[in-house]
Amino acid sequence: MGAEGPGGIGRSPVCPCCGGRGFEDSFEALGHRFEACRGCGYQRMADPPSPEERDGFYKESRRHGEEAWAEHGKNLERFAAILRSFEEWIPPGRFLDLGCSLGTSLVAARDRGWDPVGVELSGPVAAFGRKEWGLEILETPLPECGFETSSFDGVLVHHTLEHLGDPLGILREIARVLRPGGILYLAVPNHASLKAWILGPWFGYGVTVEHLHHFSPSSLRSLVRRAGFHVLRVLTRSYREDPRMVLDLCGRLGWEDRLAKWCGFPPGEFDQEAYVRFITDRPLPRFLCTRAWPARLAGWLGLGEDLHLLARLVPRSSGGGERWKGHPASSTGSLPEDPPAKDHGMERREGPHVLR
């Protein structure tokens, strides 16, 4: 998952999305404080782990790779759909996935005629992809990879940007290695979603100890534009099935102790296996987690919890992203269906506290 390396979120008073100055306290959750930009509402973790702590976690983590392997077959189809979004605008060329896990996206890209390269800081996960499929996966942070300027045609950053310390710096590095007119595809949790509005700090899909940045469609657009890209499409997806739903609702209602009693683990603790049995075996929890959420309505309103953005690097001679439009080779007018990122936040043990 990691792809950034040295450097960190820091305490800069300048918002990476709008360039405004000044943050104010927003809420506390998971033992961390979060703050929001006074100008655009972008949120960040105010007291993040050190870069060394984060890099060490990703370098040693096997969990995300194991989850990715379990979903490899389905994810091949999903990444093929994402690649079709690239191919509406450019023919297959050199492709980079930042935070590629074990490389399923690279396999899908290679099968479609792309020349893929991945960056993944988790050593065991990257080694699996190299050994199993002969992929080129680097364990070096992106700024240290030594890629030549304008050396890629397409870059995918799929549920990775929110983990990185300096999102604007990373996007500017991506802009450097992309050729003019190259395509960028981003996917992040949507903190302006209906589910985020209802659950607040208990929005478990987006508020986790690993997510340093909280984006909305408007703040993500602004960030991408500041990095030199022209935004082509933005849309959201929502999903009816969400195993966190009962956990998050109980947190929102202050029912953590009740949930512990229902699941059979001590108050103040969380047993994921017991929770999974509870939402699987009991009819009402199973209904809440699989059928109750109005996913179609949320998606239709543009309030889905998954945020996708497609952008094109502005040619340097164009003088600015908002004046250069570009044209697709062919266009369907939509981005591909894509499932939510793997389950982050299920390990939460303490409730958040909104700062007044």
Tell me: the pLDDT tens digits for 235-263? 999 999 999 999 999 999 999 999 999 99
Q: What is the mean pLDDT of the segment spanning 275-302?
A: 97
Confidence of residue 57 (pLDDT cuts 50, 70, 90): low
Co-location of 56 and 193 in the same domain: yes
Residue 73: predicted pLDDT: 75
**Domain of 105, in residue numbers:** 23-239+297-354
Co-location of 46 and 124 in the same domain: yes
Residue 63: pLDDT above 90? no
Query: Is residue 16 included in any domain, yes or no?
Result: no
Confidence of residue 74 (pLDDT cuts 50, 70, 90): confident
Co-location of 40 and 121 in the same domain: yes
Lowest mean pLDDT among 3-7, 255-259, 314-318: 3-7
Check: CB of residue 7 under 8 Å from CB of residue 165. Answer: yes
If one compares 5 and 48, the residue with the highest pLDDT of the two is 48
Co-location of 277 and 182 in the same domain: no
Percent of the chain with pLDDT over 90: 74
Segments of the chain assigned E as strands: 23-29, 32-37, 43-45, 94-98, 115-119, 137-138, 152-158, 178-189, 213-214, 229-237, 306-313, 353-354
Confidence of residue 317 (pLDDT cuts 50, 70, 90): low
Q: What is the mean pLDDT of the segment spanning 286-305?
A: 97
Q: What is the mean pLDDT of the chain?
A: 86
* Residue 341, SS3 per DSSP: coil
What is the 3 state secondary structure string of 43-63? EEECCCCCHHHHHHHHHHCCH
Co-location of 92 and 115 in the same domain: yes
Residue 322: predicted pLDDT: 44
Lowest mean pLDDT among 33-47, 70-84, 144-158, 268-282: 70-84
Which among 3-7, 10-14, 69-73, 292-296 has the top mean pLDDT?
292-296
Domain count within the chain: 2
Residue 166: pLDDT above 80? yes
CA distances from 232 to 104, 183, 186, 308, 322 (A): 25, 9, 12, 11, 10
Query: Is residue 4 included in any domain, yes or no?
Result: no
Q: What is the mean pLDDT of the segment spanning 171-196?
A: 98
Check: CB of residue 221 under 8 Å from CB of residue 309. Answer: yes
Co-location of 267 and 203 in the same domain: no
